Structure formats: structure tokens, C-alpha cells
Structure 1
Amino acid sequence: MSDSQQHLPLLDSASMPQRISMQGAVTIPFQDTTLSTQPTIYRTYNTRYIGLFAIVTLNIATGFVWLTYSAVPAQAMAFLNCSGSIINLTSILYFIAYVLMAPISGWMCERHGIQRSLIFGAALQIVGSWLRFLGTLVDSAPGQSEGRLALTLIGQVIAAAAQPFFMNVPPKYAAIWFTEHERATATMIGTVSNSLAAALAQLVIPAITTDAESVKRTVLICAIFSVVALFPTLLMAERPPTPPSPSAAEALLKTKEEPFFISLKKALSNPQFLLMMLVFGTFTACFTSFTALIAQFTAPYGYSSSEAGYFGAAMIFSGLLGASISAPLLDKFKHFSGFSKIMVTISSAMFIALNFAIRRNFFGGLMATSIILGISGFSVLPAGLEYGVEITYPVTPASSTSLLWGFGQLLTVIFLTILGVLQNNELSATKGINPPMIFIAVWAVIFGVVPMFMIKAQYLRADAEKAMREREKSGYQQQVPQAREC
């Protein structure tokens, strides 16, 4: 043996890369200076907030476009020369379009990336918004409203098709840009921005739309806002130069390897996720339907539309506050299952309580119930989305999010139809029985609380990350690829 061979360092074959000799089946450990046995260093970048801001801005813009007409039904009916059912249709179109476009938006996000997906959605929203404005330039009169109404509805459909491109993105964006201690908060910010938009639109649009002619101005403002919302998206980066966590590194590596629809199939074959879909869809439909129809539910008991707006605003803003508090706690403790069970139970109890709170001269009680409902209900949204990702890991977050939101929107359309049929003002006024609220309460308990307690705690992503970090700390080489350039 030569001196050089005698002084070779002793290598641990279990912890070093190996090279296969071309002359035999012997594996020879070798020292590769391009790799390190030190734990991988994960980094976060301040530019991640630009993308998050872009998501929030687009969601706020879509909220204003969505509620342009339904927030001021009397003025909109006079301007468009149409019935109230057409005004309701402008809102329902958003739920229908979501169900149809959710798979496409999820596929595009995985195939072409988050930024391009957001830009495409923003372009749809811009086209739809300006088509609606062109409709305002067409003369309209009773019996001759076809041109204005046709352009309005076509524009509304195109703009509605953009919404899933914005709502499906937060968990995916949080997964590749934020650490495991920030993801729930980032998902919460992106998710509740849509609800914030609804609350702001219900306050701002009535304030600037004082009569039928001012509808034209409101439509123009929304169209301009849709263009402004595009610019932050142009400034964001598609991928971080270095992943913030082990699961982010894996997500960046696998983004284009597995077809999106294969991921959907995997998620739908997971029984635990199917239960989560039922729970998430149930409470999405219950909250959205209650918010949309609260004026109808309370009118037989003597409450004005303004007072109904106060109940809805109280629920939404208290919900935003509750979500902003709960999300950082979820980031720290990761108890998605236990937290969701508590919040789902409280929310269902509040839906039951509303059957007793919605009565004459009980403004304070109804307001208090709405606030508690908002806190518990809105906190479930980011927790449910993150829990869905944990249950289906390593399936891409875009797949699980598309399914959760899509099923929720589908149930919302069904709910709005059923609740409209069940509404009976005479029965409510004379006997104090509110059939729509009874339906919501019963559904929430049977299809919300019961399946939630059937879900077994599964934190597949968190466990995988913990295992990867432990392997790195113990000295095993973890070969994490750098993200490709944008």
C-alpha cells in the first residue's frame, strides 16, 4: 500500500455519497467537495411579502367586482332595467364559475406557476370589468334593456371566472415561500382577504352608489381597480432562490413532475380528506349563505336592511380579528385537528343559537351571536386549508385547495337555492319559526361536527419535515436542489 493510500481519511460509507466502479460491482465511497454533510440552511426573503400583497390585492378587487350590483340591488335594478332575480344572478354566477374554473386554475398554477396563474386571472378580471363598463355606455330603457344587460352579464361571467385563480393560491404560495412557523398566518392573510373584500364592498359600494345613474361610476371605479390590482403581480417572483423549509424544497423540485389531475385523483382517494372536504364545504356554504341572505332572514322580525348589514359586518370583522389571532398560534403549535374541532363545534352551536336570537327587539343578542359566529367560523378557514394540505401530503397544495373551495362553492349554490325555497316570511313573523336557519343548523351539526370528529389527526407534511431536519442534524447528507431561476 502506498503512502498516499495509507493517509486517506477514513470515511463513513453510511453518510457519504458513493460512486459505482465501472469495472466491478464494488461501491467506493468518495469525497465530493460540492456536497456538504452540514444541515441544509433554509432561507426566507422579504420579497415573499410582495407576492402575498399581490394575492390580497387581487382578492379585494374581485370582491368589489363580485358585489358591484348585489350590494345596491335597488339602484342596480333601476340602472339595468331588470328584476331582482337578475341582480341575484350576478352574485350567484361567481359561485357557479368557481366550481367550473377551480380545476383549471389549479392545473394552471401547477403547470405554469403561481405568477402566470395570477396574471391570467387578473387579465380575465380586467376584460370582464371593462366589458361591464362598455355595457353602461349602451342606452337602456324598460323593455329595451337587452344590450346593456347582455354586456353586463357577459362581463360578470368572465370576471367571475378569475376568482378561483386568486382564492386557490394562498396555501400553495405559503408552502413554497414561508417557513413552517409562518405558513398558517400567510394562508390566513391570503384567504380572509376575500372575506375582507366582501365586507369592504358592502360598506363602500352603497356609500358611492346613491342613485341609479351613479351605478355607472361605480362600475368604472371597479374596472380601474381591476387594472391597478394587476401591477403588484408583475413585481412578484415565481420562486424563492433558496427554499424556506424541507417541504418547500421538495415542492419546488416536484412542481412540474406530477400531472395536476393525478394529484386530484390521489386527494379524492384519501378518506380522511373526503371527510375534510365535507366539513370545509359545509361551513363555507353555511357562512356564505347566511351572510348573503341575512337581510331576508331578519326582515320578518322588523330589522331593516341597514341593521342586517351591521350583523353581517360584525360577523366578518370579528372573524378577521379571530383569524389574525388564531393563525399565529396554529403556526406555533400545529394543532389543526383539535383547533378545528373546537371551532366547528362553537360555530354549529351559534347556528343553533341564531334560531332563538333572530326575533323581535333582540338586536344586542343577535349582534353578540354574530360576533361569536364570526370568530369561530373564520378561524376554521385557514386551519381547514392547512389541515387539508397536511392530510394529503405530498399531494400539491393547489390540488387540495381547489377541491376544498370548489366543493364549498358548489354547496353554496345548492344552499342558496334551497334556502330561497324555504324562506317563509309569514311563518317567521307569526310563529317565530325560521325554516332556513333550522336547515343551516341541522346541516352544520350532521355534516360538519360529526365528520370533523371522525377525522384522525394526520400531519404528514409536518412529520416529513421533522424527519428531514433530524436526518440533516444527525449528519446524513440531504441533497436539496436549488430552485430553478424564474
Structure 2
Amino acid sequence: MWVTFAPCLYIFTEYYFGKVNDWTVNGIHALSSVYMVLYPLAVHFAFPVFESRGGLRRGILLGATLNTLAGVVRWFGAVPSLSGYIVLVMGQTLAALGQVFMLAVPPQLAVVWFPDNEINLATALAVNANNIGIAIGCLWSPWAIHATTMLQDIPHLLYRQALMTVLVWLLVWAAFRRSPPARLHVVNATTLTPSQPYHYGLLFQSRNFMWMMVAYGVMFGAQCSIITLIDQLLLGPFAKEVTEDQVGKLSCAMLMAGLPGSILVARFLDQTKRYRPACLFLATLTSLSLLGLHLSIEYHCFTGVALSCVVFGLASYAIAPAIFQYAGELFYPIQEVVPTGYLFLVGNIVGASMVTLMGMSSNPAATFPMRLPLLHLILLMVIANVAMAMVRGPLLRSQAA
């Protein structure tokens, strides 16, 4: 639902505003940015939902319910007018609130439900399930919506997405009817005082966590920026060679590449627990892929663009589950949902800022409108690599098992 609009940016702009300019384009970008804006404001209030026994199931069901309501409201907003756009924003806002209860769940879910030698694989699959959904969205929108038939296509798309949210809610309800098995490496929330698992100040007193937030914040911001602004990145320099449909397929390939990369890294980590070198390697590969993307656009090589985007997807989406479980190891016995939630918090703040600043600092008159914003992104990724290298410490959860 987050990525519905970016692959068909200009079609949605015409549909709701009737004209394309910086303000109306940013209005459609706001439908994605609202996710990144609301998450930091609401995530702290979501943590108590997960505290008590049964909190994991309760939190996931709440997120799925909000997502279902969002799908219905978005469908009501499928009217080509400013009022329709306002209703659509309301639906996106509900969906953004729903993600507050979902994004940080995979590491906690893996620790609660899976044995020690499958925790990273379970985390990788759960995190990438979200990315696969985004990939499908990148492919679905250009396939379902065309400029000449947008008055029929857009309402049909939003209706089908609303039906999908209902199906997801039913699947979540069915999947969590039984209780998880007991695991030795899970902290029993019912035996801990509030100052133990949810003493958030302990995290912010840790230099490791500060460096980790810098590294993950920039990498998540890079993901948000590339996937949201990919039309602006490519349609200018490759206007005669590339269509919005092809850009959508490239976005899909970029997101799908993260799944095999995540599985390979997860199997390695389940066997070795070598989180630090794995995260450093993936952060470096992410930076190099962005440099390759810039050079490929500069020298007008679309093959290089496609290769760089796939490598970027493989590396940047594989590092997220690794960092989440690395945090769970370093900051045990704080439950995994807390550091993961705060990492997403920083990521959403940085992501929203980067998408906005990169979009506003583009030069539409230039052949390569996003040259300067992309160079700034590469510089930030170098800083993220340095921050990731500063993270080190004992794996407390493994030592306690």
C-alpha cells in the first residue's frame, strides 16, 4: 500500500490534481512519506501493547485491523478530485498507523516461535515478506493503471487492494490462534519489572546503539529515497528508452533481489553468529551499488543502472534483518521489538527527510535532474559505513542461551 503511487507518479498526479508541477508531484509523494512521518510519532506508544503475555498476537492483529480499515478508506478516496485526495490521505494515514505495530515485529516473532539455529532465517523471511509486497506493488500499479484509462483503472486497483487487506486480516487471525512454543532464549515478560525490558534509556546510553541508529537510519533512508524517487532518477536521463512500466519492473527486481541475499546471509549468521563482518560487508556493497548507479546514469548506461539497482536491493534489503538480530544480541535482555522499533523510528525520520530534500533539490531542467541529490546520498552512505564499523560488543543473548 505504501508503494502504490510512486511507480505511476504522474498518472496519479493527473488523476487527482489535473496538472503536473512540483507541488502536485510532492502531493503524491506525501502519500508515501506519511508512513515515514507517523512512525516516529507513534511507535513509542505501541511498545506497551507487546509487553504482557499474548502481546505479540494482540499487536499484530491490531496492525492488521488498521490496515484493513485503511484499504477501505483508500477505496472511498478513488475520486478524481481534491476531496478524493483528502480521503485517500486519510486512508494512507490509517495504513501508516497500522505499520507501527508490524514493522518491528519480525525479530521478536522469530525469537518467540523459532529455535536458535533458525532465528535469522525466520527474521529474513518475515522482513522480506514486506519487501516482496512492495515489489508486487511496484509491478501491480504500472500493470493495472494506464494514462488513457485511469478513470476506471485507479478505482479498480484501490478496490482490489481493499479486498487484499481483508484477506490478510483473516490469515493473521487464523495463524495466531495457537500459542508459540517456549524458548530458552526468550525473556519471560511476565516475570520482569517495567524497568528491565522497557527501560528505553539504557539503549540511548549505549554508544553501540547510537552508531547503529546512524548506520541503519541512513541505509533505510537510502532505500526509501531510491524506491520513492526512482521515476525522477531515471525518466529524465532515459526519457527515450524507458517507460514508467519498465521502471516499475526494475523496482520490483530491486526489491526481489533482497530475498535471496537475505536468505544467504541469514543461513551464514545462524551458523556463525558473525553479525559484525556480515553487516560491514553489506553496508560497503550498498555504498558501491549507489556509486555504480550514479556513474551508470552519468554515462547513460541503462544496463549498468539495472545491475546497480539489483545489487543495491540485494545488499540494502539483506542488511536490515541482520542488523535487527545483531541489536537483539547486543542489547539482551531488552526485547527485540524495542531496539528494532527505535531503529525503524530513526530510519523513518531520516527516510522522510531524505525523500523530501532529494525531491526538492532536483533540477528538472537538467538532463540528469537528480545528479546532486544522488551524490549527497552516496556521501551519507560513506558516513553510514563508518558508523557500522564502530558497532562492536559481546553477543549477550547467545551467551545467555
Q: TM-score, normalised by structure 1?
A: 0.75
The answer on whether the counterparts of 2:280 and 2:388 sit within 8 Å (CA) in structure 1 is yes
The answer on whether the counterparts of 1:423 and 1:435 sit within 8 Å (CA) in structure 2 is yes
Q: Where does residue 21 of structure 2 map in the other structure?
A: none
Structure 2 distance, partners of 1:175, 1:229, is: 23
Q: Where does residue 116 of structure 2 map in the other structure?
A: 180
Q: Does 1:226 align with 2:165?
A: yes
- 1:260–1:123 CA distance, 2 compared to 1 (3 A): farther
Q: Where does residue 24 of structure 1 map in the other structure?
A: none
The answer on whether the counterparts of 2:258 and 2:316 sit within 8 Å (CA) in structure 1 is yes
Q: Aligned letter for 1:118?
A: I
Structure 1 distance, partners of 2:179, 2:197, is: 25
| Cα RMSD, aligned residues only | 2.3
| Residue in structure 1 matching 2:210, options 257, 269, 274 | 274
Structure 2 distance, partners of 1:95, 1:326, is: 27
Structure 2 distance, partners of 1:438, 1:367, is: 18
- 1:367–1:186 CA distance, 2 compared to 1 (3 A): same
Q: Does 1:354 align with 2:293?
A: yes
- 1:154–1:260 CA distance, 2 compared to 1 (3 A): farther
- 1:147–1:369 CA distance, 2 compared to 1 (3 A): closer
Q: Where does residue 394 of structure 2 map in the other structure?
A: 458
Q: Where does residue 382 of structure 2 map in the other structure?
A: 445
Q: Where does residue 26 of structure 1 map in the other structure?
A: none
Q: Where does residue 236 of structure 1 map in the other structure?
A: 175
The Cα shift of 1:390 comes to 1.0
Q: Where does residue 120 of structure 1 map in the other structure?
A: 62
The CA deviation string for residues 136-190 of structure 1, in whole angstroms up to 9 with x for no partner, is: 3x6x5xxxx3432322221221121101211111111111111111111111111
The answer on whether the counterparts of 1:251 and 1:396 sit within 8 Å (CA) in structure 2 is no
Structure showing the higher helix proportion among its residues: 2
The answer on whether the counterparts of 1:176 and 1:251 sit within 8 Å (CA) in structure 2 is no
- 1:13-32 matched pairs, under 5 angstroms: none
- Give 5+ residue unaligned stretches, structure 1: 1-64, 466-486
- 1:391–1:269 CA distance, 2 compared to 1 (3 A): same
- 1:304-319 matched pairs, under 5 angstroms: 304=242, 305-319=244-258
Q: Does 1:419 align with 2:358?
A: yes
The Cα shift of 1:360 comes to 4.6
Structure 2 distance, partners of 1:241, 1:186, is: 14
Q: Where does residue 99 of structure 1 map in the other structure?
A: 40
Q: Does 1:129 align with 2:71?
A: yes
- 1:463-478 matched pairs, under 5 angstroms: 463-465=399-401
Q: Aligned letter for 2:185?
A: S
Structure 1 distance, partners of 2:333, 2:226, is: 35
Q: Aligned letter for 2:371?
A: N
Q: Aligned letter for 1:454?
A: M
Q: Does 1:289 align with 2:222?
A: no
Q: Where does residue 395 of structure 1 map in the other structure?
A: 334
Q: Aligned letter for 2:165?
A: S
- 1:293–1:78 CA distance, 2 compared to 1 (3 A): closer
The Cα shift of 1:426 comes to 4.0
The CA deviation string for residues 54-107 of structure 1, in whole angstroms up to 9 with x for no partner, is: xxxxxxxxxxx2233333334433443463332111111111122222222222
- Give 5+ residue unaligned stretches, structure 2: 19-23
Q: Aligned letter for 1:181?
A: N
Secondary structure of 1:230's aligned partner: helix
Give aligned pairs, total. Answer: 389
- 1:436–1:193 CA distance, 2 compared to 1 (3 A): same
| Residue in structure 2 matching 1:86, options 19, 27, 34 | 27
Q: TM-score, normalised by structure 2?
A: 0.90
- 1:328–1:70 CA distance, 2 compared to 1 (3 A): same
The answer on whether the counterparts of 2:111 and 2:185 sit within 8 Å (CA) in structure 1 is yes
The Cα shift of 1:229 comes to 0.5
The CA deviation string for residues 202-223 of structure 1, in whole angstroms up to 9 with x for no partner, is: 1112212232222111111111
Q: Aligned letter for 2:100?
A: P
| Residue in structure 1 matching 2:83, options 109, 125, 147 | 147
Q: Aligned letter for 2:115?
A: T
Q: Where does residue 343 of structure 1 map in the other structure?
A: 282
Secondary structure of 1:321's aligned partner: helix
Q: Where does residue 330 of structure 1 map in the other structure?
A: 269
The CA deviation string for residues 279-300 of structure 1, in whole angstroms up to 9 with x for no partner, is: 1111011122112112212233
| Residue in structure 2 matching 1:158, options 77, 94, 99 | 94
Structure 1 moving runs of 4+ over 6 Å: none
Q: Where does residue 128 of structure 2 map in the other structure?
A: 192
Greater shift in the superposed pair: 69-78 or 116-125: 69-78
- 1:146–1:286 CA distance, 2 compared to 1 (3 A): closer
The answer on whether the counterparts of 2:145 and 2:154 sit within 8 Å (CA) in structure 1 is yes
The CA deviation string for residues 360-388 of structure 1, in whole angstroms up to 9 with x for no partner, is: 54122222222222222222111011001
